[in-house]
Structure 1
Amino acid sequence: MNQNPTNHTLIIGATQGIGLGFVKRFLERNNTRVYGTYRHPESAIELMKLATQYPERLTCVPMDITDEEQIIAGIATIQAQTDKLHCAINCVGILHEGTLKPEKSLREINAEQLTRYFQVNSIGSVLLAKHLLPLFRHRDRGIFASISAKIGSIGDNRLGGWYGYRASKAALNMLMRTISIEYRRKSPRTIVVALHPGTTDTNLSQPFQKNVPPEKLFSVGRTVNQLLEVLDKLEETDRGQFFSWDGSRLPW
């Protein structure tokens, strides 16, 4: 095993689903040092086990992206170990939580729940971009990506409903596009993109899988492999774009 990895990768939301899948895949790349974030230790058991297997290559970082002070503290932990990141992927997102669930009609709209959608799905990414910038200001190729969703495409919205989730993902897309413009000036080699993973068999999608054809419900492993293929092929001219799992560009 390479004890001196040349690439440093941060996975935000690394305790389950796509985030944990990314951690596992990056650990297969012997030249990569991985930092994985978690909110609660009790939900990060599998991530912690991986850290005991790869003590020189995986660091677990406590971080709730809805709390800017926790973002600052988490990034300080990373900066104590490296002065640069080559890749950061934000996999944190919310679709349902307790009584929070997608709204089917206007009568279900609730300001508090809308705020929660935006807090997790939108604002977290721009706070990350704010505080990660110093770690991306180097001469190597870099990637900052956030997991979005095709349902956040305004141009593709034909069915309506799911107000909070749709709007928060559309806001995420706008924020990522805007971040890419500033990063182009301040960190010219960092490519900023939004990613649609497709419907993946995770806790997030589980309540809504019954109408998904089997061939369109991806395993976590398949989703991660597909997204890594997209990321590995990115050129600097792709900055600020919204990519689907198959590499195609999605409408805003």
Structure 2
Amino acid sequence: MASPVALIQGASRGLGLEFCKHVLKNKSLASVIATCRNPDGAAELRGLAEQHRGRVTILKLDVNREEDVRGAAERVKENFGRVDLMVNSAAMLHPSGKGETSLRDVSAQGIITTLTTNTVGPLIMAKYFTPLLQKGGGAFGQQPAEKAKQHSGIIVNITAKVGSIGDNGLGGWYSYRMSKAALNMATRNLSIELGRSRPKVVCVSLHPGTVNTDLSRPYHKNVPNDKLFSAEHSVNCLMAIINSLSIEKTGKAYNWDGAELPW
């Protein structure tokens, strides 16, 4: 089998950067394609690429620009020919950096911007990278002996528990909740279409828990210490789920501890 290829979208910091580190550390022959909006400003990511020469490819990609996604997919096709795992991790809470606490805080532009990054971006990534994921060798997840149930690549959309409609008992955070609920629908749709394809692609939404990143930092004071995870701990949990995935688990949302989340 050829060396695994993992593409991490939103790789300059937080969870995305940690996914890069994890794959490099735990998949000794894997290549990592790390995408971000501003590679020149991604010092830690560039340092990681320097440390793992020849294994990390950094691509400039803004998920809000479809031409960026198309161009990146063309380069990956040319240089790698396939992708085994794609993680869509870039996200924003709201352009202001704070979730709306009530209807009076809602603005059309705030919702549009949040939805564009959190929902439209991952779906456009799937549009252009699915042909490469269909050429993946199933290097991630579990492959059953039965050939008809084997998969090629895996798409992981990083969701949030607050995007669960069934779990919403508090309200607020209109833009972020709506963007993640819509992302979950995209995951479900993709799982149905790509579950029919030959070969099949597994598609899941994963909730990382409350992670010590820039996105959640304004709200850390409300989070108990034992519920605030380091990016490393969260990614370790999420990769354990990814490595256990099979086509039977496609189209669902999972918590960081592996429990299935209600839509």
TM-score by length of 1: 0.95
Q: Find the aligned partners of 2:164 and 2:105 in 1 and give their Cα distance.
A: 21
Does the CA contact (< 8 Å) of 2:82 and 2:136 recur in 1? no
Cα distance in 1, alignment partners of residues 104 and 22 from structure 2:
43
Distance in 2 separating the partners of 1:106 and 1:169: 18
Q: Secondary structure at the match of 1:60?
A: strand
Given the alignment of the two structures, is residue 62 of structure 1 paired with residue 60 of structure 2, yes or no?
yes
Deviations 1:91-130, CA, capped at 9 Å, x for gaps: 1100144x35211111111001010111011001110110
Letter in 2 for 1:35: I
Partner of 2:7: 10
CA shift, 1:185, in A, is: 2.1
Shift of 1:206: 0.4
1:187: Cα distance to partner?
4.6
Which residue of structure 2 aligns with residue 132 of structure 1?
129
Say whether the 8 Å CA contact 1:201–1:218 is kept in structure 2: yes
CA contact (8 A) 1:63 1:71 kept: yes
Matched length:
248
Residue 112 of structure 1 is matched in structure 2 by: 109
Report the CA distance between 1:176 and its aligned residue.
0.8
Cα pair 1:144 1:193 within 8 Å, conserved: yes
Residue 217 of structure 2: aligned partner: 206
Rounded to whole Å, the distance in 1 between the matches of 2:92 and 2:206 is: 15
Q: Does 1:123 align with 2:134?
A: no
Unpaired runs of 5+ in structure 2? 139-152
Q: Shift of the alpha carbon at 1:196?
A: 0.3
Equivalence map 1:11-50=2 (5 Å): 11-28=8-25, 29-50=27-48
The residue type equivalent to 2:124 in the other structure is: L
Alignment of 1:70-149 (within 5 A): 70-97=68-95, 99-138=96-135, 140-141=137-138, 142-149=153-160
In the alignment, the residues of structure 2 paired with residue 95 and residue 138 of structure 1 have an alpha-carbon distance, to the nearest angstrom, of: 34
Q: Please report how far the alpha carbon of residue 43 of structure 1 lies from its aligned counterpart in structure 2 after TM superposition.
A: 2.7
1:233 corresponds to which letter in structure 2?
S
CA contact (8 A) 2:94 2:114 kept: no
CA distance in 1, matches of 2:84, 2:189: 20
Conserved 8 A contact 1:5-1:33: no
Q: Tell me the residue number matched to 2:182.
A: 171
Give the counterpart of 1:247 among 247, 255, 258: 258
TM-aligned CA deviation for residue 38 of structure 1: 1.3
Q: 8 Å contact 2:94–2:110 — kept in the other structure?
A: no
Instruction: Give the match for residue 230 of structure 2.
Output: 219
- Unmatched tracts of structure 1, length 5 or more: none
> Secondary structure at 2:31's aligned position in 1?
strand
Q: C-alpha deviations, 1:140-163, integer Å up to 9, x for none?
A: 322110100000000000000111
Contact 2:18 2:232 in 1 (8 A): yes
User: Which letter maps to 1:102?
Assistant: G
Offset of residue 138 of structure 1: 2.7
Instruction: Judge which range, 53-62 or 130-139, deviates more.
Output: 130-139
Deviation track 1:212-245 (CA, whole Å, cap 9, x = no partner) reads 0000000011001000001101121001100110
Change (3 A) 1:187 1:89: farther
Counterpart Cα distance in 2 of 1:103 and 1:52: 40
Structure 1 residue aligned with 2:239: 228
Whether contact under 8 Å (1:10, 1:36) holds in the other structure is yes
Contact 1:96 1:204 (C-alpha < 8 Å) held by counterparts: no
2:194 to 177, 183, 189: 183
